[in-house]
Structure 1
């Protein structure tokens, strides 16, 4: 009877075996997809915690944004606008002349402390929603700023608001900068929970199945985390541009965000590297493992 079945080509049970194998893999695919989503959230949470929780790390990560000419021009524009807001005639006539001069000053060593203070207060604005007030406290800086204004209009130099012989003015109004306090706080906590749950789901097929396919699938999930993170960076940058109306403020905040996103991409490259390694390992035939044991038994 068995011979007849072989001759007549009755391969029903044999043909059904791959179908049952594919059906058994679907739960693991769903598990890995959920793991990738949770690990993506965990990746963002880890990045948010590392870059925004500690003010020193935030300053170290973003202070080099002032090396960019467009950011210095944006800050110089705000400085000129705030200094001469009570003199609209002078502002309208000499704004284009003053901005490049002040932007050039921002590259000098005496302004390093002022730029660091801008970043510190920017951290407060993003995390707690406080307004940013920039105070020029250096006598050298004060002399340079007053000298520039005296060249244009000596009379208006004396009208600047001063406090203990120090020029003081608000660089950004409270409404200029959005606060991401709630989003960052939520992201930190969900990141911890999502990261732990994602790692457990990622390891589950590896522990239960212990085959090459599970390793390859885990690597594919980590590659997906990197792709999702890259898309997040693109979308978040666009959202920031649409959210901030004032052009100088948008330029500065976008520059700071670019520095933070650079850290996120660097962190995600590690995830990508691990994913690629797992995919390669999953594609290589193992001498042991479930597939190897089946081949040996046969």
Structure 2
């Protein structure tokens, strides 16, 4: 059987793309290995009608919506290889099966690369986060820390300043601020600590103290971390997709990559902040691009 499209990745982008494709009468499969980037997240925010929803509940409701349409199926397998044969794609999954499809949407997302700091994983997702738009409200007006080892520190600190004026920036031993940036932070009563962090302390996921290499400690109630990002799947690179200077998949406005028939949507494009509602909207837009291309190919000119 030749599918119109396969969608790889069951995050908000892949789910919404699948919905739009299904409603356009396209025969599709959504492949979801159910290993989301936000697996540790307790609640998702900023999506109207779904503010505060658990990510697992969001996915459950989304799949309920998809199951209304008989022309879509969801397979809980990981796609391990895609190759192009003539004008079609062969999608190979980890259970040994092959599928043929005219189009492919990669909604494979990104994965976070955390600073190598003892205790980080004990607090990340409960009292340490990487997105103030997602979790700033829950930490508002508290004594917060910004932990960053790269040039994104200054921008992140300015953003967090909106939610709390009680800020300390820790660079974990790195010299990342210019003289002018340090002066601006000091002007806004933001403390900069460049000493290397030994460990984070607290209980039940709630940050309480940060201990430094010189033996000093500071008290903090939570905060934000700038993480590194890398592609969660090698499929785009293996297909020969061009990557942008941010490490995302380069596409046009409707998700078309340089490989004809291959599209990308969501965080893996690195074209917008990692927000649930933005990823979902991108999935909708990319699906429209796929539908437009399929219609043009089928229409008699």
More strand by share: 2
TM-score bracket for the superposition, by shorter chain length: under 0.3
Give the TM-score normalised by the residue count of structure 2: 0.22
More helix by share: 1
Give the TM-score normalised by the residue count of structure 1: 0.22
